[in-house]
Amino acid sequence: MEPVILSCAELSTREINAALAALPDGASARVLEPRGRHNLAVGLSNRVRIDIEGNAGYFIGGLGDGPDVVVHGFTGWSVGENLQAGSVRVEGNASECAGASSRGGTIVIEGDASSRAGISLKGGTILVGGNVGHMSGFMAQAGVMLIGGDAGDALGDSLYEAVIYVAGTIASLGSDARIEELTESDVRAVKALAELGGASFGHVQPENVTRVASARGLYNFDALKDQKY
Amino acid sequence: MDQPQPMNLPMDAHRRSGAFPPEVIAQIQRTATEGHYEIRGWGAKRDLPTFDDLLFLTASLTRYPLEGYREKCDTSTVLGTRYASKPLQLAIPVTIAGMSFGALSATAKVALGRAASAVGTSTTTGDGGMIAEERAASRLLVYQCLPSRYGFNVDDLRQADAIEIVIGQGAKPGGGGLLLGQKVTDRVAGMRTLPAGVDQRSASRHPDWVGPDDLRIKIEELREATRWEKPVYVKFGATRVVNDVKLAVEAGADVVVVDGMQGGTAATQDFFIEHTGIPTLAAVRLAAEALRDIGMEDTVQLIASGGIRTGADVAKALALGADAVSVGVAPLIALGCNSPTYWQDGSDHDASDGYQALGTEAGYCHHCHTGRCPVGVTTQDAGLEARLDADRGARQVTNYLKAMAMETAALARACGKSDVHNLEPNDLVALTVEAAAMAQVPLAGTEWIPGRQDKI
C-alpha cells in the first residue's frame, strides 16, 4: 500500500492528526515540510508507520499507543512524551526532555539529546546514540536508558527503579544515583538495546558500559540521616 | 490518688507570649527532636480574611426579591464553552476538587462520585491516576494532568469528561505532592509505577514543558489527543493571580481554576500551608478582574476554591466573579472526616481511640498524611476503610451539596436574581477594611473601597 502524503504546508495540525488517526492498522503516511510543527502524530493508537520528512517541534509522537514514527530530522522538546507503545525514532538530535514520562515502547535518538532526557521515565526504553545533557534520567521510575555517548551533570538524580547504561563518560551523578557493577545480564541487555538502536549504536561495547541505578537512600524520609536532596 | 496542689501563682503568671505562644514552643521542640518540618493534611489553619467578612445587600425598596420557595433561580453551570466541543453541563455551581486515590480511600472516591452524580456535578481525579471505581461512580469526571504524571495514560484521558492541567494548588503553590510510605500500598504503588512503601515526593514542575509558551503547545497536544472534545482547565495555587490567569487564557485554557491558600491537601509541609499563596477571597476578585481586563469573562470560566464551606461562601464567590467553586475538605467532612463516630454494620461506633492514637481528637484532626484516618476517608488500610460506608457517605455528601446549592439560590433570590450567576460585586459589602480591600467592595456603612479614588 502506498503511503498517504500529508503536507504541513497545506494542512493544519488538526487535519494532519485526524488523517493519521483514521489510518487502518498496517498503513503508512509521510508528513512533508514539517518546518518545526508541534504536536505531529500525537495520541495515536493505531499500528501505523509515519515518516516525518524534516525538522519538527514539541511533543512529536507524544501520548502514542502503537504507531511507529520516524523523524528524518531534528525534534523540539519532549519527543515521545508519555509514549505507551510503539516507537519514535529521531534521525537527528532531540531537544530537552526526550521521552519524558514514557511508559512503554521505544524512543531512539540517533544523534544527541539535550538535558533531562528520560525525565520521569515510567517504563519506556530510551536509546540515545550520542550525548545527553544535564539532569538526564531525573526521577526516572522504571524502564531503561542507553546512552551511546557522554552524559552531562547530575545523571539519574532521584532515580527510582529505572536503569541507565552509559557507553561514554559521566560528568557527574545526581543525588542518590550510583554506579553499579555490570552483570552478564546487563551485558546481554545492552547488546539487545544497541541492536534495537541500529547503526548509530555500532560503537557501543556492551561489556564496557557503565550501569547507573538508584542507591535507594531517598526512598524514605529520615531527616536525622543528613539526606541530600 | 493525690490531687496536685493548686499552685499559688500570681495573676500575671500565664502571660502568653505573642511571638512564642505554647503552640509555637511545642513546634520548636518537635522540630528540634525530629530535625524536619511538620507534614500534615488540611489547609491553612490561621485566621485569614474570608468570605465570612462579606455581607449581602439583599433586596428591599430599590430592588425587589424573588419568592424564596416559588420563583425559579437557575443554578445550572456550563464549563468549557471556549474551545471544547463537549462542555461540561453541571446542575449546580459546586464541583468536587481533585483528591487522589492514595490520599483518599477507594470507598471515599466512590462515595464522592455517587454524590456528585446524584446532584449533577463533577468530581476530579488527583495525583495517581483514575481508578475504575471512580469512573463508574462519577457521571462527570475531570482528569488531572499533574507534574508527576503518576498513572497518566491516554486511555483514561479519552474516557475523561474534562482535563485539568495542574500547575499548583493553594496548599502548596510551587511545591510538589507528598504521599508518605504508609499509604503507598501495592495498588497505589502499582498505579504510580513506584516501589510500595516509598515516601512518594511528586515533582513540582511538569516533566515535558515549562512556562506559558510551552503550556500553549501542551494544551494543543492534549486537545489533539482527544479530538478537541474535552474542556481543558488550568489550575494553579493563588499567588500572582492576575498574570497567571492572563497567561493561562493566552495559552488556550477553557477554564481557569484558582485555588486560594485555604485549599486543602492530604500531606504537605506546614510551612507551605501557612505561609504561601493568598487568601481565596483576594484570589477570586483578582482572577475575575483579570478576565474582565482582557475581555474574556464571558468566554473563559473561572472556578474558585480553597476553604469554601457553605452556600453563602458559594454565593459570595459567584458574586465576585467565579462561575463555579470547587470543594475538597468540606465534602470530606460531610463523609465523616473529624466525626467522633463512624457508621459500620448499621450502627454508630466511637472513633475517639483512633483520634487519640494520632495525638488529636475529633474536630481538630488534620492527620490525613498518616493514613490512619479513624473514619476511613483518608486511608489505604482495609480495616479503617471499612469504617466508611459508601452508601451512607454518598447520601451525606448528596445532602450537603444539595443544601449548598439551595443556600446559594436562596441568597441570589433575595438579591433579586433569577440565576445565581447574576450575583455581582454590587450585592456585597465588607465587614473589615482588609476584606474591603481584597474583595474591592465597600466597607459596610461607607462608600469606601480601599485603594480606589473614585466613589462607587
List, for residues A21-74, the tens digit of each pLDDT value.
999 999 999 999 999 999 999 999 999 999 999 999 999 999 999 999 999 999
Minimal CA separation from A191 to chain B, in Å = 26
Q: Name which of A136, A219, A119, A206 is nearest A170 in CA terms.
A: A136
**Side-chain half-sphere exposure of B107, counting CA atoms within 13 A:** 22
Q: How many CB atoms lie within 10 A of CB B435?
A: 27
Mutate to test the interface with B, among A12, A59, A229 (most CBs of B within 10 A): A59
Kindly report the average pLDDT of chain A as a whole number: 96
Per-residue model confidence (pLDDT) at position B6: 67
CA distance A122 to A141: 5
CATH number of the domain at B51-423, please? 3.20.20.70
Task: Give every residue of chain B whose pLDDT is below 50, as ranges.
Answer: none
Cell numbers 455581582 label which residue? Answer: B424
Three-state SS across A141-186?
Answer: CEEEEEECCCECCCECCCCCCCEEEECCCECCECCCEEEECCCHHH
* pLDDT, tens digit, 9 for 90 and up, residues B166-191: 999 999 999 988 888 999 999 999 99
CB contact under 8 A, B225 and A116: no
For residue B196, give the chain A residue with the closest CA: A219
- Give ∠ CA B164-B395-B364 in degrees, rounded to 5: 75
Cα separation, B147 vs A80, whole angstroms: 17
In degrees, rounded to 5, the angle at the alpha carbon of residue B177 between the alpha carbons of residues B174 and B182 is 155
The count of CB pairs under 8 A between chains A and B is 107
**ipTM of this model?**
0.97
CB B279 within 8 A of CB B261: yes
Long-range CB contacts (< 8 A, 24+ apart) of B296-301? B296/B249, B297/B321, B299/B81, B299/B82, B300/B82, B300/B249, B300/B253, B300/B254, B300/B255, B300/B256, B301/B78, B301/B79, B301/B80, B301/B81, B301/B254, B301/B255, B301/B256
Q: Where are the domains of chain B?
A: 51-423
Closest to B184 measured CA to CA, from A171, A12, A219: A219
The single residue listed with the C-alpha cell 480574611 is: B49
As a whole-number percent, the residues of chain A with pLDDT over 90 amount to 95
What is the pLDDT, as a whole number, of residue B12? 87
Residue A1 has pLDDT above 90, yes or no: no
Residue A228's pLDDT is 65
Q: For A191-205, what is the mean pLDDT? A: 97
Q: What is the per-residue pLDDT for B456?
A: 56
Q: For residue B151, give the 3-state DSSP assignment.
A: coil
Which of B195, B209, B226 has its CB closest to that of A161? B195
Cβ contacts of B149 on chain A, cutoff 8 Å:
82, 101, 120, 122
Residues of B in contact with A141 (CB under 8 A): 192-194
- In terms of Cβ atoms closer than 10 Å to its own Cβ (0-12, 13-18, 19+), residue B42 is buried
Among A116, A220, A223, beta carbon nearest to B35: A223
* pLDDT one-digit tens code per residue, B382-419: 999 999 999 999 999 999 999 999 999 999 999 999 99
Interface check for B217 against chain A (CB to CB < 8 A): the answer is yes
Instruction: Specify the pLDDT at position B5.
Output: 66
For A135, the closest chain B residue by CA position comes to: B207
Q: Among B88, B92, B132, which Cα is nearest to B115's?
A: B92
Provide the chain B residues 225-254 that lie in CB contact (below 8 A) with chain A: 225-228
Q: Is A65 within 8 Å of B155 when comparing Cβ atoms?
A: yes
Tell me how long chain B is.
456
